[in-house]
Structure 1
Protein backbone atom coordinates (compact mmCIF):
# COMPACT_ATOMS: atom_id res chain seq x y z
CA UNK A 1 0.00 0.00 0.00
CA UNK A 2 3.04 2.28 -0.26
CA UNK A 3 1.54 3.87 -3.37
CA UNK A 4 -1.39 5.29 -1.39
CA UNK A 5 -1.68 8.53 0.54
CA UNK A 6 -3.70 8.52 3.77
CA UNK A 7 -5.16 11.66 5.33
CA UNK A 8 -5.44 10.82 9.02
CA UNK A 9 -7.39 12.91 11.48
CA UNK A 10 -6.79 12.73 15.20
CA UNK A 11 -10.01 11.18 16.47
CA UNK A 12 -9.27 10.81 20.18
CA UNK A 13 -6.48 10.58 22.72
CA UNK A 14 -6.04 8.49 25.79
CA UNK A 15 -3.40 7.97 28.42
CA UNK A 16 -1.57 4.67 28.00
CA UNK A 17 -1.75 3.16 31.48
CA UNK A 18 -0.52 -0.27 30.42
CA UNK A 19 2.42 -0.06 32.82
CA UNK A 20 2.41 0.41 36.57
CA UNK A 21 3.56 4.03 36.77
CA UNK A 22 4.87 5.34 40.13
CA UNK A 23 2.63 7.99 41.68
CA UNK A 24 5.32 10.71 41.34
CA UNK A 25 5.60 10.03 37.61
CA UNK A 26 1.81 10.13 37.21
CA UNK A 27 1.79 13.63 38.66
CA UNK A 28 4.35 14.75 36.06
CA UNK A 29 2.44 13.01 33.28
CA UNK A 30 -0.90 14.59 34.18
CA UNK A 31 0.70 17.99 34.69
CA UNK A 32 2.32 17.74 31.26
CA UNK A 33 -1.08 16.86 29.77
CA UNK A 34 -2.62 19.90 31.40
CA UNK A 35 -0.04 22.20 29.80
CA UNK A 36 -0.35 20.56 26.40
CA UNK A 37 2.52 18.08 26.18
CA UNK A 38 1.88 14.55 24.97
CA UNK A 39 3.87 12.42 27.42
CA UNK A 40 2.14 9.07 27.86
CA UNK A 41 -0.53 9.91 25.29
CA UNK A 42 -1.63 7.58 22.54
CA UNK A 43 -3.13 9.39 19.57
CA UNK A 44 -5.87 7.54 17.70
CA UNK A 45 -5.82 8.52 14.05
CA UNK A 46 -8.57 7.72 11.56
CA UNK A 47 -8.08 7.85 7.78
CA UNK A 48 -10.79 10.08 6.33
CA UNK A 49 -9.30 10.20 2.85
CA UNK A 50 -7.19 7.79 0.81
CA UNK A 51 -5.88 8.45 -2.69
CA UNK A 52 -3.09 7.17 -4.92
CA UNK A 53 0.30 8.90 -4.84
CA UNK A 54 -0.04 9.72 -8.54
CA UNK A 55 -3.47 11.20 -7.91
CA UNK A 56 -2.13 13.19 -4.96
CA UNK A 57 0.82 14.47 -7.02
CA UNK A 58 -1.46 15.60 -9.88
CA UNK A 59 -3.97 17.20 -7.48
CA UNK A 60 -1.34 19.16 -5.56
CA UNK A 61 0.34 20.23 -8.82
CA UNK A 62 -2.82 22.20 -9.60
CA UNK A 63 -2.08 24.57 -6.73
CA UNK A 64 -0.23 27.73 -7.82
CA UNK A 65 3.49 27.13 -8.41
CA UNK A 66 5.58 28.64 -5.64
CA UNK A 67 2.64 29.05 -3.27
CA UNK A 68 2.96 28.23 0.42
CA UNK A 69 0.05 25.77 0.12
CA UNK A 70 1.73 23.86 -2.68
CA UNK A 71 5.05 23.81 -0.82
CA UNK A 72 3.33 22.46 2.30
CA UNK A 73 1.44 19.75 0.43
CA UNK A 74 4.47 18.77 -1.68
CA UNK A 75 6.30 18.11 1.57
CA UNK A 76 4.61 14.73 1.56
CA UNK A 77 6.28 13.86 -1.75
CA UNK A 78 9.68 14.62 -0.18
CA UNK A 79 9.26 13.27 3.34
CA UNK A 80 6.42 10.69 2.92
CA UNK A 81 4.62 12.44 5.77
CA UNK A 82 3.42 15.90 6.72
CA UNK A 83 1.46 17.18 9.68
CA UNK A 84 -1.17 19.88 9.33
CA UNK A 85 -1.82 22.02 12.39
CA UNK A 86 -4.36 24.72 13.08
CA UNK A 87 -1.98 27.46 11.92
CA UNK A 88 -2.01 25.94 8.40
CA UNK A 89 -5.82 25.93 8.10
CA UNK A 90 -6.41 29.39 6.65
CA UNK A 91 -3.63 29.16 4.06
CA UNK A 92 -4.64 25.67 2.88
CA UNK A 93 -8.38 26.34 2.97
CA UNK A 94 -8.01 29.49 0.86
CA UNK A 95 -5.81 27.72 -1.70
CA UNK A 96 -8.05 24.66 -2.04
CA UNK A 97 -11.21 26.77 -2.08
CA UNK A 98 -9.82 28.79 -5.02
CA UNK A 99 -8.89 25.53 -6.73
CA UNK A 100 -12.37 24.12 -6.13
CA UNK A 101 -13.99 27.25 -7.60
CA UNK A 102 -11.77 27.26 -10.72
CA UNK A 103 -14.17 25.66 -13.18
CA UNK A 104 -12.85 22.60 -14.96
CA UNK A 105 -9.56 22.45 -13.00
CA UNK A 106 -10.44 19.42 -10.86
CA UNK A 107 -11.49 15.94 -11.83
CA UNK A 108 -14.48 14.43 -10.06
CA UNK A 109 -12.14 12.48 -7.75
CA UNK A 110 -10.07 15.58 -6.98
CA UNK A 111 -13.21 17.54 -6.21
CA UNK A 112 -14.23 14.85 -3.71
CA UNK A 113 -10.75 14.88 -2.14
CA UNK A 114 -10.91 18.67 -1.90
CA UNK A 115 -14.31 18.57 -0.21
CA UNK A 116 -13.11 15.97 2.31
CA UNK A 117 -9.88 17.87 2.97
CA UNK A 118 -11.84 21.10 3.47
CA UNK A 119 -14.05 19.27 6.00
CA UNK A 120 -10.91 18.09 7.81
CA UNK A 121 -9.50 21.63 7.85
CA UNK A 122 -12.78 22.99 9.24
CA UNK A 123 -12.79 20.37 12.00
CA UNK A 124 -9.15 21.16 12.78
CA UNK A 125 -9.82 24.90 12.93
CA UNK A 126 -12.69 24.31 15.35
CA UNK A 127 -10.67 22.00 17.62
CA UNK A 128 -7.17 23.32 18.37
CA UNK A 129 -6.16 20.01 19.99
CA UNK A 130 -6.68 18.12 16.76
CA UNK A 131 -4.20 17.70 13.93
CA UNK A 132 -4.04 16.01 10.53
CA UNK A 133 -1.33 13.70 9.32
CA UNK A 134 -0.82 12.95 5.65
CA UNK A 135 1.39 9.93 5.12
CA UNK A 136 1.89 6.68 3.33
CA UNK A 137 1.26 3.61 5.40
Structure 2
Protein backbone atom coordinates (compact mmCIF):
# COMPACT_ATOMS: atom_id res chain seq x y z
CA UNK A 1 0.00 0.00 0.00
CA UNK A 2 1.31 3.46 -0.91
CA UNK A 3 0.49 6.90 0.38
CA UNK A 4 -0.07 10.15 -1.45
CA UNK A 5 -1.13 13.72 -0.87
CA UNK A 6 -4.18 14.91 -2.78
CA UNK A 7 -5.04 18.55 -3.49
CA UNK A 8 -8.78 18.89 -4.05
CA UNK A 9 -10.23 22.16 -5.32
CA UNK A 10 -13.78 23.40 -4.81
CA UNK A 11 -15.32 22.98 -8.25
CA UNK A 12 -18.95 23.80 -7.49
CA UNK A 13 -21.57 23.89 -4.77
CA UNK A 14 -24.67 21.75 -4.78
CA UNK A 15 -28.07 22.38 -3.21
CA UNK A 16 -30.64 19.58 -3.30
CA UNK A 17 -33.25 21.08 -5.62
CA UNK A 18 -35.87 18.61 -4.38
CA UNK A 19 -35.90 20.64 -1.18
CA UNK A 20 -35.71 24.09 -2.78
CA UNK A 21 -36.66 25.92 -5.95
CA UNK A 22 -33.74 27.19 -8.07
CA UNK A 23 -34.27 30.73 -6.72
CA UNK A 24 -34.33 29.45 -3.12
CA UNK A 25 -31.28 27.31 -3.75
CA UNK A 26 -29.40 30.34 -5.04
CA UNK A 27 -30.37 32.32 -1.93
CA UNK A 28 -29.17 29.48 0.32
CA UNK A 29 -25.80 29.51 -1.46
CA UNK A 30 -25.44 33.29 -1.17
CA UNK A 31 -26.42 33.17 2.49
CA UNK A 32 -24.01 30.33 3.27
CA UNK A 33 -21.16 32.20 1.57
CA UNK A 34 -22.01 35.39 3.43
CA UNK A 35 -21.93 33.77 6.87
CA UNK A 36 -19.08 31.41 6.07
CA UNK A 37 -21.02 28.23 6.71
CA UNK A 38 -22.44 25.68 4.32
CA UNK A 39 -26.01 25.28 5.58
CA UNK A 40 -27.80 22.99 3.15
CA UNK A 41 -24.93 23.27 0.68
CA UNK A 42 -22.67 20.41 -0.38
CA UNK A 43 -19.21 21.35 -1.61
CA UNK A 44 -18.08 19.39 -4.63
CA UNK A 45 -14.32 18.95 -4.51
CA UNK A 46 -12.33 17.81 -7.52
CA UNK A 47 -8.83 16.29 -7.44
CA UNK A 48 -6.42 18.78 -8.95
CA UNK A 49 -3.00 17.46 -7.95
CA UNK A 50 -1.69 14.18 -6.51
CA UNK A 51 1.83 13.77 -5.11
CA UNK A 52 3.40 10.58 -3.75
CA UNK A 53 3.91 10.92 0.02
CA UNK A 54 7.73 10.91 0.06
CA UNK A 55 7.83 13.30 -2.90
CA UNK A 56 5.43 15.67 -1.12
CA UNK A 57 7.70 15.75 1.93
CA UNK A 58 10.73 16.50 -0.29
CA UNK A 59 8.76 19.20 -2.15
CA UNK A 60 7.70 21.09 0.97
CA UNK A 61 11.26 20.77 2.30
CA UNK A 62 12.25 23.24 -0.45
CA UNK A 63 10.30 25.97 1.38
CA UNK A 64 12.17 28.19 3.85
CA UNK A 65 12.51 26.14 7.05
CA UNK A 66 10.81 28.32 9.67
CA UNK A 67 8.42 30.11 7.31
CA UNK A 68 4.65 30.31 7.63
CA UNK A 69 4.37 28.49 4.31
CA UNK A 70 6.47 25.60 5.57
CA UNK A 71 4.41 25.35 8.77
CA UNK A 72 1.16 25.47 6.79
CA UNK A 73 2.18 22.70 4.37
CA UNK A 74 3.60 20.61 7.25
CA UNK A 75 0.05 20.42 8.56
CA UNK A 76 -0.60 17.52 6.18
CA UNK A 77 1.94 15.19 7.83
CA UNK A 78 1.01 16.51 11.27
CA UNK A 79 -2.82 16.51 11.06
CA UNK A 80 -3.61 14.51 7.93
CA UNK A 81 -5.21 17.43 6.11
CA UNK A 82 -5.19 21.18 5.71
CA UNK A 83 -7.43 23.79 4.11
CA UNK A 84 -5.96 26.49 1.91
CA UNK A 85 -8.23 29.48 1.50
CA UNK A 86 -8.02 33.12 0.45
CA UNK A 87 -6.08 34.08 3.60
CA UNK A 88 -3.17 31.80 2.59
CA UNK A 89 -2.82 32.77 -1.07
CA UNK A 90 -0.17 35.50 -0.93
CA UNK A 91 2.02 33.76 1.64
CA UNK A 92 2.01 30.41 -0.20
CA UNK A 93 2.35 31.94 -3.66
CA UNK A 94 5.44 33.91 -2.65
CA UNK A 95 7.04 30.91 -0.95
CA UNK A 96 6.43 28.41 -3.76
CA UNK A 97 7.40 30.91 -6.45
CA UNK A 98 10.71 31.60 -4.66
CA UNK A 99 11.34 27.89 -3.96
CA UNK A 100 11.10 26.95 -7.66
CA UNK A 101 14.73 28.02 -8.13
CA UNK A 102 15.97 25.09 -6.00
CA UNK A 103 13.35 22.50 -7.00
CA UNK A 104 13.57 19.51 -9.29
CA UNK A 105 11.65 19.70 -12.59
CA UNK A 106 8.84 17.57 -11.06
CA UNK A 107 8.62 19.83 -8.01
CA UNK A 108 8.56 22.87 -10.28
CA UNK A 109 5.57 21.36 -12.12
CA UNK A 110 3.75 20.83 -8.81
CA UNK A 111 4.60 24.36 -7.71
CA UNK A 112 3.27 25.73 -11.00
CA UNK A 113 0.05 23.72 -10.59
CA UNK A 114 -0.36 24.97 -7.02
CA UNK A 115 0.31 28.55 -8.13
CA UNK A 116 -2.48 28.20 -10.72
CA UNK A 117 -4.85 26.94 -8.01
CA UNK A 118 -3.88 29.84 -5.74
CA UNK A 119 -4.53 32.25 -8.59
CA UNK A 120 -8.03 30.79 -8.97
CA UNK A 121 -8.64 31.42 -5.26
CA UNK A 122 -7.34 34.97 -5.63
CA UNK A 123 -9.84 35.58 -8.45
CA UNK A 124 -12.75 33.89 -6.64
CA UNK A 125 -12.34 33.92 -2.83
CA UNK A 126 -15.13 31.33 -2.36
CA UNK A 127 -12.82 28.69 -3.87
CA UNK A 128 -10.58 26.77 -1.49
CA UNK A 129 -8.33 23.72 -1.48
CA UNK A 130 -8.53 20.68 0.76
CA UNK A 131 -5.15 18.93 0.97
CA UNK A 132 -5.26 15.41 2.41
CA UNK A 133 -3.03 12.47 3.08
CA UNK A 134 -4.44 9.38 1.39
CA UNK A 135 -3.65 5.68 1.56
CA UNK A 136 -3.80 4.33 -1.97
TM-score range, shorter chain: 0.7 to 0.9
* Equivalent of residue 127 in structure 1, options 124, 127, 134: 124
Deviation at 1:108, TM superposition (A): 1.4
Give SS of 2:66's match: coil
For residues 84 and 33 of structure 2, the distance between their equivalents in structure 1, rounded to whole angstroms, comes to 22
Deviation at 1:129, TM superposition (A): 0.6
Give SS of 2:13's match: strand
For residues 2 and 81 of structure 1, the distance between their equivalents in structure 2, rounded to whole angstroms, comes to 17
* Equivalent of residue 118 in structure 1, options 90, 112, 115: 115
Match of 1:59 in 2: 59
Correspondences of 1:1-137 after superposition (within 5 Å): 3-17=3-17, 30=28, 32-33=31-32, 35-36=34-35, 37-100=37-100, 102=101, 105-137=102-134
Q: Which runs of 4+ in 1 moved over 4 A?
A: none
For residues 96 and 56 of structure 2, the distance between their equivalents in structure 1, rounded to whole angstroms, comes to 13
Q: Report the TM-score when normalising by structure 2.
A: 0.85
Where structure 1 has 5 or more consecutive residues not aligned to the other structure, the ranges are none
CA contact (8 A) 2:77 2:133 kept: no
Where structure 2 has 5 or more consecutive residues not aligned to the other structure, the ranges are none
The verdict on how the C-alpha distance between 1:34 and 1:76 changes in structure 2, with shifts beyond 3 A counting, is closer
Give SS of 1:63's match: coil
For residues 83 and 2 of structure 1, the distance between their equivalents in structure 2, rounded to whole angstroms, comes to 23
For residues 124 and 34 of structure 1, the distance between their equivalents in structure 2, rounded to whole angstroms, comes to 14
Count of equivalent residues? 129
For residues 60 and 10 of structure 2, the distance between their equivalents in structure 1, rounded to whole angstroms, comes to 22
Q: Report the TM-score when normalising by structure 1.
A: 0.84
For residues 103 and 111 of structure 2, the distance between their equivalents in structure 1, rounded to whole angstroms, comes to 9
